Structure 1
Amino acid sequence: MSTNEANSSDLALRNLEGLLPDLAEFYEDVHLHPELSMHETRTAKLAADRLRAAGYEVTTGVGKTGVVGLLRNGDGPTVMLRADMDALPIQEATGLPYASKATATDREGNTVPVSHMCGHDMHVTWLAGATKLLADARTSWRGTLMAVFQPAEETGEGAHAMIDDGLFNRFPKPDVILGQHVMVGPSGTVAGRAGAITSAADSLQIRLFGRGAHGSMPQASIDPVVMAASTVMRLQTVVSREVAAAEAAVLTVGVLQAGTKENVIPDEAIIKLNVRTFDAGVRTRVLAAIERIANAEAAASGAPRPPEITTIDQYPLNVNNRDATKRVVDAFRGHFGAERVRETGPAPASEDFGSFGAEWHVPSVFWFVGGTDPEVYAKAKEANRLNELPVNHSPKFAPVLHPTLETGVETLVVATRAWLPA
């Protein structure tokens, strides 16, 4: 923590050390009780209760389970802080004493394990801590603080659910929107950049139609398995042959489903794929190529009908406003020191955080907070084995509690105070 007592952020952070035991207990509780997207009722209640206790006006049920807290503290800018709340259908394998053993019913009616393998439990805790500290130090700043606990980031629907539920009409328009994510990186460090910070993402399903037959009589069929295999192989050329070397795109086929028995040629096949891009033009070209290839392979196979191509989910390109990013970075360097604040390239992961700023026409800034034990990270880097560290969505992803917890609270407070005048 900065030792410059003249820094107004310190007035809000002076009680952080005393709050840490409570925040650590809160974090373990949220981790132990994860909830799937759009089912974050318990987490939302915990967040709402904390905001009310700190003196915020609280609105619940925004976008089904979202929570918005307002702390009006005189004339001045409005700063929106966002944290996502949902967990993933993953069996936790961290070995932590507070590891999740929770299960839930997914949208297909299946019983699935649930765990916070992306760090949203840390995000909720960070925002709970920052809002408490800023409320306790309200004599040191003026303006309005808007805390948003968002559902369903993992399914790409939570930000829009809140927007569609009147977020822009029911609450004051912020001057800046701030958010952050725990990632692999030395705990205690912060990373970000101006411009594109996380990729746009498009998940698609391609349903290919054939004609079923006995496996011994393939001549009587139009084989969707071969059609799907040819489509998958051809899709691998989109990035390698249609995207320039100076541009970037990722196209991954994650699902190929067809048939139920080895001697039966099925009627249809399903392909599910994911695309990540950092440029609107590249995105348009890649999506067009996918449609072209799927239709051409179906036609080449003599399919009885064109494939059905449907969107599963979409995430916007998340772009940090340059002027707002400079203000945040300057504040971070003044507080943490330059050695703990680094510039990073755009991350191939995706986030619906960008929807708030882009659609509200408000500058936004999103950054990463390291969650890896610094010694573990340093040894992995020295051995050229960073790719072996558990990443977000891994069953073993487990941010080290300290100093990840305090660093994420500090970043929110320091960034907020860069806008709120004394």
Structure 2
Amino acid sequence: MTTDGTPAAPAPASSGTLADPARGTLPGPATVTPLLSGLDERLPGLRALYEDLHAHPELSFQEFRTAGVAAGLLRAQGWEVTEGVGRTGVVGVLANGPGPVVLLRADMDALPVKEETGLPYASTATGIDPDGNEVPVMHACGHDMHVTCLLGATAQLAAHRDTWSGTVVAVFQPAEEVGGAPAMIEDGFLDRFPRAEICLGQHVAPAPVGFLGTRPGPVMAASDSLRVTLFGRGGHGSSPETAVDPVVMAAAVVMRLQTVVSREIGASQTAVVTVGSLHAGTKENIIPDTAELRINIRSTTPAVRDRILAAVTRIVRAEAAASGAPKEPEIVPLNSFPVTVNDGPATARVQSALTEALGEGRVFTLPQVITGSEDFGVFGTALGVPSVFWHFGGADPALYAGVDPDSLLENGLPDTVPANHSPHFAPVPGPTIPLGVTALLAAAAHWLVKETPDA
């Protein structure tokens, strides 16, 4: 990637690789929906919007500025706008005659990550996390791209009402990183807005720009996060026999948890257990009273989820007992995301629409469930309607020189490509923005077909 965030010149590659320039650019206007008319002229403004959002990230449920930007642009485009849904969410409604109601969703929140991209519009922002700590903040998961693409799509829909019929509900959701979709549902979303017949969403991924992937059925894993507090008995580091050391207890828990997936989950099943945070003590010669672990669990079936949660609980309690802890550990759920499930027939329709818009060889069926998690499916589940979620590439194709697409699908990312949540993650905005806008419009247009009167 060049210093201004535009894609570097693609490296030479053999025909058919992901770095092939012929495969790294979007197709011409003849292959896309009429809804895209005038998008090229809109792209500089969308690029500026993206850079502004990237430079001003906000943590979950703190997206006040981002929500204000989205609401203001929607109103300027002619949408009916409601703010403060689920605390900081924004919902735009555009009714345009008879037809289906289509929900399009983007998430808005950023992460407590210090940006290291070196971009001229890199974030230097900080925020206060739920524990009261000041932390760096970065759009390390691409939600700024999601907001930009949805606002580009809403602008095109508003500008070309003569080409479609129906109602679109544009959802700018807060707090996806901690499960903000239920907050919108609990705030009366189902009763306050037109009830969608199809829910559509997307996520930028570290795949080469120009490519998309999805699959019918389970597409993203369930996620459960836990806070575990281990109780010891504090003392002087010189006399550990007078104390019960929660640091050693925590270390034993961390090591034992590594056996859950390797020894209790079948080789053909998908699961991940991660201890992402461990805090204990304030000084090297003081044995503290407590240690805190934050654990994340990914699973793809209810049975595997139940087995892992039971195993984690058993191990935490057993290690505490083995260490002579004076008190039972506390295990507190922090958030939970269900498996994201794509409706089969609706996914086939979306894949067909995306292929028609982007060209053959650019829309892939993912070979397996992605172990990342999403709360997008909450909308479709609550409404009782089909939903489809896809991933679109945002990485510089030059990073994939010599990589065959089939190899990528089977073997994963090259080590040179920063993934979501990395401090180096930064989609190349120039080609990624029109890709994301095109995908949303192509998928939505498949439902918003304008009926032609009989001759």
TM tier, shorter chain? over 0.9
Task: Check whether the contact 2:47–2:430 (CA below 8 A) recurs between aligned residues.
Answer: no
Matched, 1:360 2:383: yes
Matched, 1:20 2:43: yes
Hey, which bits of structure 1, 4+ residues long, moved more than 4 A? 1-5, 379-385
Question: Could you say which residue in structure 1 is the equivalent of 2:168?
Answer: 145
Gaps of 5+ in 2: 1-25, 451-455
Correspondence for 2:251 among 215, 224, 229: 229
Matched, 1:191 2:207: no
Gaps of 5+ in 1: none
Matched, 1:86 2:109: yes
Correspondence for 1:100 among 123, 126, 146: 123
2: distance between equivalents of 1:209 and 1:301? 10
Secondary structure of 1:348's partner?
coil
Question: Could you say which residue in structure 2 is the equivalent of 1:264?
Answer: 286
Question: Could you say which residue in structure 1 is the equivalent of 2:340?
Answer: 318
2: distance between equivalents of 1:25 and 1:227? 50
Matched, 1:210 2:210: no
Question: Could you say which residue in structure 1 is the equivalent of 2:374?
Answer: 351
**1:154 positional shift:** 1.7
Correspondence for 1:281 among 280, 289, 303: 303
Correspondence for 2:242 among 215, 220, 224: 220
Question: Could you say which residue in structure 1 is the equivalent of 2:78?
Answer: 55
Aligned AA (1:326): A
2: distance between equivalents of 1:215 and 1:103? 35
Task: Check whether the contact 2:276–2:295 (CA below 8 A) recurs between aligned residues.
Answer: yes
Aligned-residue sequence identity (percent) comes to 55
Question: Could you say which residue in structure 2 is the equivalent of 1:114?
Answer: 137
Aligned AA (1:110): N
Question: Could you say which residue in structure 2 is the equivalent of 1:163?
Answer: 185
Question: Could you say which residue in structure 1 is the equivalent of 2:20?
Answer: none
1: distance between equivalents of 2:111 and 2:315? 32
Aligned AA (2:414): L
Q: Judging changes above 3 Å, is the alpha-carbon distance between structure 1 residues 243 and 370 closer, same or farther for their aligned structure 2 residues?
A: same
Cα deviations by residue, 1:249-293 (Å, 9 ceiling, x for unpaired): 000112222222333322222222111111111001000111111
Aligned AA (1:97): P
**1:184 positional shift:** 0.6
Task: Check whether the contact 2:221–2:339 (CA below 8 A) recurs between aligned residues.
Answer: yes
Question: Could you say which residue in structure 2 is the equivalent of 1:399?
Answer: 427
Cα deviations by residue, 1:370-400 (Å, 9 ceiling, x for unpaired): 0011122225779997123111111111111
Question: Could you say which residue in structure 2 is the equivalent of 1:333?
Answer: 355
2: distance between equivalents of 1:97 and 1:216? 51
Task: Check whether the contact 1:2–1:10 (CA below 8 A) recurs between aligned residues.
Answer: no
Cα deviations by residue, 1:303-332 (Å, 9 ceiling, x for unpaired): 222110001222221111111100100111
Q: Judging changes above 3 Å, is the alpha-carbon distance between structure 1 residues 4 and 409 closer, same or farther for their aligned structure 2 residues?
A: closer
Question: Could you say which residue in structure 1 is the equivalent of 2:444?
Answer: 416
Question: Could you say which residue in structure 2 is the equivalent of 1:247?
Answer: 269
Q: Judging changes above 3 Å, is the alpha-carbon distance between structure 1 residues 307 and 329 closer, same or farther for their aligned structure 2 residues?
A: same
Cα deviations by residue, 1:171-192 (Å, 9 ceiling, x for unpaired): 1110110000111111011111
Task: Check whether the contact 1:159–1:352 (CA below 8 A) recurs between aligned residues.
Answer: yes
**1:248 positional shift:** 0.9
**1:79 positional shift:** 0.3
Cα deviations by residue, 1:119-172 (Å, 9 ceiling, x for unpaired): 11111110001011111111111110010001111222x211111111111111
Residue range with higher mean Cα deviation, 332-341 or 381-390: 381-390
2: distance between equivalents of 1:261 and 1:3? 62
Cα deviations by residue, 1:193-237 (Å, 9 ceiling, x for unpaired): 111111111111111112223333333323222222222221111
Secondary structure of 2:33's partner?
helix
Secondary structure of 1:284's partner?
helix
Residue range with higher mean Cα deviation, 97-106 or 234-243: 97-106
TM-score normalized by structure 1?
0.95
Task: Check whether the contact 2:224–2:337 (CA below 8 A) recurs between aligned residues.
Answer: yes
Aligned AA (2:103): M
**1:301 positional shift:** 2.2
Correspondence for 2:157 among 111, 134, 139: 134
Task: Check whether the contact 1:191–1:367 (CA below 8 A) recurs between aligned residues.
Answer: yes
Task: Check whether the contact 1:248–1:278 (CA below 8 A) recurs between aligned residues.
Answer: yes
TM-score normalized by structure 2?
0.88
2: distance between equivalents of 1:168 and 1:49? 23
Secondary structure of 2:372's partner?
strand
Correspondence for 2:396 among 373, 384, 394: 373
Secondary structure of 2:334's partner?
strand
2: distance between equivalents of 1:39 and 1:390? 26
Residue range with higher mean Cα deviation, 44-53 or 179-188: 44-53
1: distance between equivalents of 2:125 and 2:28? 42
Residue range with higher mean Cα deviation, 351-360 or 219-228: 219-228
Please report the RMSD computed on the Cα atoms of aligned residues, expressed in angstroms.
1.9
2: distance between equivalents of 1:279 and 1:318? 11
Task: Check whether the contact 1:207–1:309 (CA below 8 A) recurs between aligned residues.
Answer: yes
